[in-house]
């Protein structure tokens, strides 16, 4: 049976989560006080480069899946994601290279490829997400799935209890909504999934 899912937040995380639930047949509403192109997401650069991400089986699955999905998008006509080859440079003696375990191919940068002040680097082709094009594209996809948008501030998760079976907080940083929540059952990228009824 379709669940009534409310996603708080219309940034890249909120839209992505909404897309996945709606694709799964759930009835999704996105509630946000800033529209997508006003969010922090709209000003970010977006290279698939999950530096110092959580190390867990679930995080590894998510990283592998996101890489696979972004690479697949590069093949679409008028693609909003492109593969870019370059050097990720490092200044630390012991840089986090865990993300490279997901790449089929990468190589150590030679000294000649490293700018002054850096100690090492990785040469690789990575998905580059063109945010000014990607976000409108993602929003259009989300809208085509019949997702409803409401523009207002959520002060407390309790406001949504009667209208939702599941609430996902995708607001990036702490806000009144996250502070008011007490039943966090999941966490990813600063966002939370809360069961308001069935959770």
CA distance 24 to 35: 24
181 contacts ligand FAD (rule: CB under 6 A): no
Q: Which two tokens stand for residue 168?
A: 């996902």
Nearest CB to ligand FAD, comparing residues 101 and 116: 101
Nearest CB to ligand FAD, comparing residues 31 and 109: 31
Closest residue to bound ligand FAD by CB: 11
Nearest CB to ligand FAD, comparing residues 171 and 193: 171
Shortest CB 42 distance to ligand FAD, Å: 7
Nearest CB to ligand FAD, comparing residues 47 and 125: 47
Contact between 97 and 108 under an 8 Å Cβ cutoff? The reply is no
CA distance 192 to 199: 12
CA distance 121 to 107: 9
Shortest CB 151 distance to ligand FAD, Å: 8
Residue 194: closest CA among 147, 157, 155: 157
Per CB under 6 A, contacts with ligand FAD among 114-173 are 153-154, 170-172
Shortest CB 141 distance to ligand FAD, Å: 15
CA distance 178 to 9: 12
Strand order through the sheet with 120-129: 81-90, 120-129, 107-108
Contact between 84 and 71 under an 8 Å Cβ cutoff? The reply is no
Judged by CB under 6 A, which stretch of 28-36, 74-82, 90-98, 160-168 contacts ligand FAD?
A: 28-36
Shortest CB 108 distance to ligand FAD, Å: 22
79 contacts ligand FAD (rule: CB under 6 A): no
Judged by CB under 6 A, which stretch of 8-16, 86-94, 95-103, 139-147 contacts ligand FAD?
A: 8-16
14 contacts ligand FAD (rule: CB under 6 A): yes
Residue whose structure tokens are 């609430």: 167
């Amino acid at each position: 049976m379709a669940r009534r899912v409310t996603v708080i937040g219309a940034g890249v995380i909120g839209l992505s989560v909404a897309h996945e639930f709606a694709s799964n047949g759930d009835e999704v509403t996105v509630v946000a006080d800033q529209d997508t192109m006003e969010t922090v997401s709209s000003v970010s650069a977006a290279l698939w480069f999950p530096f110092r991400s959580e190390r867990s089986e679930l995080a590894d699955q998510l990283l592998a899946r996101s890489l696979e999905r972004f690479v697949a998008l590069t093949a679409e006509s008028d693609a909003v994601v492109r593969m870019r080859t370059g050097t990720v440079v490092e200044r630390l003696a012991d840089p986090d290279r865990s993300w490279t375990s997901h790449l089929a191919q990468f190589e150590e940068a030679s000294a000649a490829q490293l700018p002054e002040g850096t100690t090492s680097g990785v040469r690789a082709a990575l998905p580059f997400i063109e945010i000014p094009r990607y976000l409108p594209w993602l929003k259009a996809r989300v809208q085509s799935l019949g997702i409803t948008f409401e523009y207002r501030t959520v002060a407390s998760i309790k406001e949504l209890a009667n209208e939702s079976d599941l609430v996902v907080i995708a607001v990036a940083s702490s806000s009144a909504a996250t502070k008011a929540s007490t039943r966090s059952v999941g966490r990813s990228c600063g966002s939370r999934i809360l069961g308001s009824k069935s959770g």
